[in-house]
Amino acid sequence: MTAHVHLGLVFHQHQPVGNYGFVFDELFQKSYEPLVACLERHPGVKAGLHYSGPLLDWLLFNRPAYIERVRALVVRGQVEMLGGGYYEPVLPSISEADRIGQMTKMRNAITEVFGTRPAGMWLPERVWEPSLPTSIAAAGYRWTVVDDVHFQANGWDAADVSGWYLTEDQGSTTGIFGSSTAFRYLVPWGAIDACIDFLRNQGDRRPGSLVTMGDDGEKFGGWPTTYQHCWENGWVESFFSRLEEEAHWIETVHLGTWQAQKPAEGLIYLPTTSYMEMGEWSLTPGAQHALEDAMRVLRDGGRGDLTHFLRGGYWRNFLVRYPEMNLLHKRLLHLSRQAHQNGNAEALEHIWKAQCNCPYWHGVFGGVYLQHIRDATFGHLAQADALLNPGARPADTCDWNFDGRDEICLRSGEQAVIVNPAEGGRIEHWDLRQRGWHLTHAIARRPEAYHARLGGADEHAVQSIHDGVRLKDPAAAGQALNYDRGLRLAAQETIVAGAMGRQAYEDLRLSTPAVAAASSYDDGSLSLRLTAGGLSYDKTIALCEGALVMTAAIPANATLYSEWNLSLPQGEHGAAPEFRFEEGQAVITTGQFQLTAAHSAHEAWVTQLFSVSNTEGGVELAPQGWSMVFRGTSGDTPSTVSIRWTVQ
């Protein structure tokens, strides 16, 4: 007779801050509602449910009847609710005060909405660092879920991970459950018999043990090909039915009940890590390929049992791979400290929303490359800054991006800019303060590991999104190797002797970075003496009379190209911004405001930027912003290029 085994299922459901309403609605129809309906039809299947704050807010406003259905499942003892960080931040990347604040906000919301105080919390992206028990305990939670990969990094066999374990930091303890990587790859991709066989083998090997599986609810209908597989073809229905049929030896349980009633398996200290794919994605493309080669060598050599020691990098390295998001992250750390010191709850709410993890990293999902998600995240940063530092302010000098060198923040009532003197006086942040909009978060085009594998998967197969690469947009393959030199920020100059055309400029942009020989600033302006490619020029950035003004004094027989990469809102029905070029003026009309650049340049042009990005549906061209370039004149006498930006 097959030995008894327990199964703890947890479904994590999340939509990021700023995602489109139609995405929420589509995922509700394809995943969230069918899963709850299936649980209603199968009262013998117990499960844990987690909804991130942005999704919970949407459901409360748009689908209140669904919330009541989930509450009914809680009341009848079938569903256990999990908490977590409200806006789904990667907890180790934010301050201790923000960790506790976000988790407490979620705990209180779950208690109020569902009438039950959550004992367990979902760990966003399973990003674990050893200091987290202190934060988790302080927020009132007793346990969380990681992957068995975390245990394997300590030399454990995944099959030996069962029940819960105790870990601590500075005397604060929390319980840890290890989710089975092998089982979450079977559910729902494998045959149901294979899932049952896995549980049978575990029960035979360790009678009475617990198998935990915590994973995204969206993969049950929301990922490509899965709606047909999970619901139209009935995979989940059949799986739940089979669990009920085998209930005499497979018992579904709540992890909170298990943790409260069963003793810990022992003390464990987990290393800094996440699930295996995250460790791979955090590496540079070359290192990702090397990691794949190392795994292949071990498997081909008959030592696949050693591959779990190869876990790649870790989450914080995304802030190095994508320096644009590091600029957001570091500014948020400054503003968070200020908000806590001032007790500004409204600003803190914007900061917490801007900590939503989705735009900070990139793997199989769009992540950092999703412009509309960055629009929202950077927009909340701008609103937090405006609340904490209203109106015109004296220049603020500090190391805003944590690179060991000071940057200058200039604020007027209408605009705010952070200028980096060490990087040629480029503008790294540009806020429209009264509109809560951030103009400079375009992402540079850079290599990704999957660029070398475009077209290598069958886009019609039922498979995990982690398997292979789909080519959603055929046009993307031809642009995969168009990479940028440097970042795509604002007030970035390229200066050359003589002149060159548009294509030559794109080939040479930022090839000779400007170096600051001298700098000075007052409350409203920053002046720089710069040298690039053997040419020297003076540059001033000032906020005055409701305008942002950049002025550059150029030597004779040289041409300055001033590049402004802009993140702009869409118009009605997703319409692109309208660009109008007139003599000495460029006008940009968007769905929310109008930007005007009065300039003295010889000509100006605009190009839309696209990156080749992987998404759930496949690799596609993802819009990243608009690049405006102002070209000065080259003559026998010195010249001046000035650009005066105003907003209406």
Annotated catalytic sites, by residue?
125, 216
Structure tokens at 548: 């942002």
3-state secondary structure 534-573: CEEEEEEEEEECCEEEEEEEECCCEEEEEEEEECCCCCHH
SS3 50: strand
State the residue for tokens 């629009």. 375
Indicate the Cα dihedral angle 240, 244, 249, 253, nearest 10°.
Answer: 70
Length of the chain: 648
Whole-angstrom distance, CA of residue 432 vs CA of residue 437: 5
Instruction: DSSP for 150-205, please give it.
Output: HHHTTT--GGG--SEEEEEETTEEEEEEEE-HHHHHHTTTS-HHHHHHHHHHHHHH
Q: What are residue 618's DSSP bridge partners? A: 615
Residue 42 CA from chain centroid, whole number: 35
Contacts of 389 (CB under 8 A, 6+ apart): 396, 411, 416
Tell me the CA distances in angstroms from 488 to 379, 540, 597, 624, one per residue in order.
18, 20, 18, 10
In 3D, which of 121, 117, 124 has the Cα closest to residue 136?
121
The residues, ordered by sequence, that sit 6+ positions from 571 with a Cβ below 8 Å of its Cβ are 577, 578, 589, 590, 591
CB atoms within 10 A of CB 498: 8
Longest Cα–Cα distance in the chain: 95
Give which of 161, 164, 172, 98 is closest to 132, Cα–Cα. Answer: 172
Which residues in 292-406 belong to E strands, given as ranges? 393-398
| Residues 32, 42: Cα–Cα separation, whole Å | 16
Residues 6 or more apart in contact with residue 577 via CB below 8 angstroms: 568, 569, 570, 571, 588, 589, 590, 591, 626
3-state DSSP assignment of residue 122: strand
Q: What is the CB neighbour count within 10 angstroms for residue 262?
A: 14
Cβ neighbours of residue 431 closer than 8 Å, sequence gap 6 or more: 381, 382, 385, 386, 415, 416, 417, 437, 438, 439
Tokens linked to 643: 């650009």
Interhelix angle for 345-354 vs 96-114, to 10°?
90
Asked whether the beta carbons of 437 and 593 are under 8 A apart, the reply is yes
Q: Answer for the pair 538, 642: CB distance below 8 angstroms, yes or no.
A: no
Coil, helix or strand for 600? coil
Q: What is the radius of gyration, based on Cα positions, of the chain?
A: 27
CA distance 489 to 563: 8
